[in-house]
A and B are shown apart, each in its own frame.
Chain A
Amino acid sequence: MNKLLGAHPRDAALSKTYMFVAFAALLLGGIMGLLQTIERAGLFEMPSYFTYYQALTTHGIVLVVVLTAFFTIGYFYAALSHTLDGLLPKVRKMAWIGFALKIVGFVFVVVPLLMNKATVMYTFYPPMKASPYFYIGLVFIVLGVWMCAFGAFIQVATWRKNNRGKHLPILSFFATGVFVLLFFGSLGVTVEVLTIIPWAFGWTKTINVMVSRTLFWSFGHTLVNIWYLTAVSAWYVIVPKVIGGRRFSDVLTRFVVIALVITNIPGGFHHQIVDPGMSQALKFMHVFMSLVIAIPSMMTAYAMFSVFERRGRELGGKGLLGWFKKMPWGDVRFLAPFIAMVAFIPGGAGGIVQTTNQLNQVVHNTLWIVGHFHLTVGTSVILTFFGISYWLIPYVSKRVLTPRINKVGVIQTIFWTIGMAIMTFSMHIAGLLGAPRRTSYTTYGDHAVAASWDPYTVVVVVGAAFLLVGGVLQLYAVFHLMFRAPKGETEFPLAEPEENASATPYWTERWGRTIILMLLLVAMAYVAPLVNFIINAPPGSPPFVTW
Chain B
Amino acid sequence: MKMHRYEEIWLTCGISLIVVFMLITGYQTFAMDMGPPSHIETIDPQKVDQTAPFDKPGVNKIGENEYEVVMTLESFVFTPADIEIPAGSTVHFILTSKDVTHGFEVAGTNVNAMVMPGYIQKITQKFGEAGEYLVVCNEYCGAGHQYMSTTIRVV
Interface of A toward B, CB cutoff 8 Å: 51, 53, 56, 119, 121, 125, 127-128, 209-210, 213, 249, 251-252, 255, 272-281, 283-284, 287-288, 291, 294-295, 298-299, 302, 306, 352, 356-362, 364-366, 433-442, 444-445, 447-450, 502, 536-542, 544, 546-547
Q: Are the CB atoms of A546 and B99 closer together than 8 Å?
A: yes
Q: Are the CB atoms of A287 and B100 closer together than 8 Å?
A: no
10 contacts between A and B (CB under 8 A): A56-B140, A251-B2, A283-B38, A291-B21, A357-B26, A361-B113, A436-B136, A439-B146, A537-B42, A538-B43
Q: Are the CB atoms of A437 and B138 closer together than 8 Å?
A: yes
Q: Are the CB atoms of B143 and A210 closer together than 8 Å?
A: no
Quick check: is B114 within 8 A (CB to CB) of the other chain? Answer: yes
Contact of A357 among B29, B44, B107, B151 (CB under 8 A): B29
Residues of B within 8 A of A249 (CB): 2-3
- Bound-complex Cα distance A4 to B140 (A): 53
Distance of A356 from chain B, by nearest CB (Å) = 5
Contact of A536 among B11, B42, B132, B134 (CB under 8 A): B42
- Bound-complex Cα distance A445 to B77 (A): 13
Residues of A within 8 A of B22 (CB): 287-288, 291, 356-357
Distance of B145 from chain A, by nearest CB (Å) = 6
Quick check: is B65 within 8 A (CB to CB) of the other chain? Answer: no
The 10 closest A-B pairs by CB, nearest first: A546-B142, A434-B107, A538-B118, A538-B42, A436-B138, A442-B146, A365-B138, A276-B121, A449-B134, A280-B35
Residues of A within 8 A of B139 (CB): 125, 365, 438
Contact of B108 among A359, A433, A439, A540 (CB under 8 A): A433
Q: Are the CB atoms of B140 and A53 closer together than 8 Å?
A: yes
Q: Are the CB atoms of B45 and A541 closer together than 8 Å?
A: yes
Given contacts A209-B116, A441-B146, contact A279 B101 (CB under 8 A): no
Q: Are the CB atoms of A128 and B103 closer together than 8 Å?
A: no
Give the nearest-CB partner of A54 in chain B: B143
- Bound-complex Cα distance A89 to B62 (A): 73
Give the nearest-CB partner of A536 in chain B: B42
Quick check: is B119 within 8 A (CB to CB) of the other chain? Answer: yes
Distance of A539 from chain B, by nearest CB (Å) = 5
Quick check: is B91 within 8 A (CB to CB) of the other chain? Answer: no
Q: Are the CB atoms of B29 and A276 closer together than 8 Å?
A: no
Quick check: is B88 within 8 A (CB to CB) of the other chain? Answer: no
Residues of A within 8 A of B100 (CB): 125, 127-128, 541, 544, 546
Q: Are the CB atoms of A358 and B29 closer together than 8 Å?
A: yes
- Bound-complex Cα distance A361 to B138 (A): 12
Give the nearest-CB partner of B134 in chain A: A449
Distance of A190 from chain B, by nearest CB (Å) = 21
Q: Are the CB atoms of B143 and A51 closer together than 8 Å?
A: yes
Quick check: is B15 within 8 A (CB to CB) of the other chain? Answer: yes
Residues of B within 8 A of A502 (CB): 2
Distance of B14 from chain A, by nearest CB (Å) = 4
Residues of B within 8 A of A539 (CB): 44-46, 118
* Residues of chain B in range 14-36 having any CB-CB distance to chain A below 8 Å: 14-15, 18, 21-22, 25-26, 28-30, 34-36
Q: Are the CB atoms of A283 and B36 closer together than 8 Å?
A: yes
Q: Are the CB atoms of A450 and B45 closer together than 8 Å?
A: no
Residues of B within 8 A of A295 (CB): 11, 14-15
Contact of B140 among A121, A127, A538 (CB under 8 A): A121
Q: Are the CB atoms of B38 and A278 closer together than 8 Å?
A: yes
Contact of B11 among A279, A280, A298, A357 (CB under 8 A): A298
What is the 8 Å Cβ interface bit string for chain B, positions 106-120, against chain A (1 contact, 0 not)?
Answer: 011011111111111
Distance of B86 from chain A, by nearest CB (Å) = 21
Residues of A within 8 A of B46 (CB): 539, 541-542
- Bound-complex Cα distance A442 to B132 (A): 18
Residues of A within 8 A of B115 (CB): 276
Residues of B within 8 A of A287 (CB): 22, 25
Contact of B137 among A251, A436, A440, A447 (CB under 8 A): A436
Residues of A within 8 A of B141 (CB): 128, 546
Distance of A269 from chain B, by nearest CB (Å) = 12
Quick check: is B39 within 8 A (CB to CB) of the other chain? Answer: yes
Q: Are the CB atoms of B112 and A356 closer together than 8 Å?
A: no
Quick check: is B37 within 8 A (CB to CB) of the other chain? Answer: yes
- Bound-complex Cα distance A356 to B26 (A): 9
Q: Are the CB atoms of A284 and B105 closer together than 8 Å?
A: no
Distance of A402 from chain B, by nearest CB (Å) = 39
Residues of A within 8 A of B18 (CB): 291, 294, 352
Give the nearest-CB partner of B41 in chain A: A276
Q: Are the CB atoms of A299 and B7 closer together than 8 Å?
A: yes
Contact of B29 among A53, A125, A280, A447 (CB under 8 A): A280
Q: Are the CB atoms of A125 and B99 closer together than 8 Å?
A: no
- Bound-complex Cα distance A546 to B2 (A): 57
Q: Are the CB atoms of B37 and A274 closer together than 8 Å?
A: yes
Q: Are the CB atoms of B36 and A277 closer together than 8 Å?
A: no
Q: Are the CB atoms of A359 and B134 closer together than 8 Å?
A: no
Q: Are the CB atoms of A210 and B25 closer together than 8 Å?
A: no
Distance of B102 from chain A, by nearest CB (Å) = 10
* Residues of chain B in range 124-155 having any CB-CB distance to chain A below 8 Å: 132-134, 136-147, 149, 151
Which one of A51, A210, A274, A357 has the greatest number of beta carbons of chain B within 10 Å? Answer: A274
Which one of B75, B103, B120 has the greatest number of beta carbons of chain A within 10 Å? Answer: B103
Contact of A302 among B10, B108, B149 (CB under 8 A): B10
Distance of B30 from chain A, by nearest CB (Å) = 7
11 extra A-B contacts, CB within 8 A, seeds A538-B44, A541-B117 = A251-B1, A251-B2, A277-B40, A279-B38, A281-B30, A288-B22, A294-B14, A299-B7, A356-B21, A357-B36, A358-B25
Residues of B within 8 A of A210 (CB): 116, 118-119
Distance of A93 from chain B, by nearest CB (Å) = 39
Residues of A within 8 A of B25 (CB): 287, 356-359
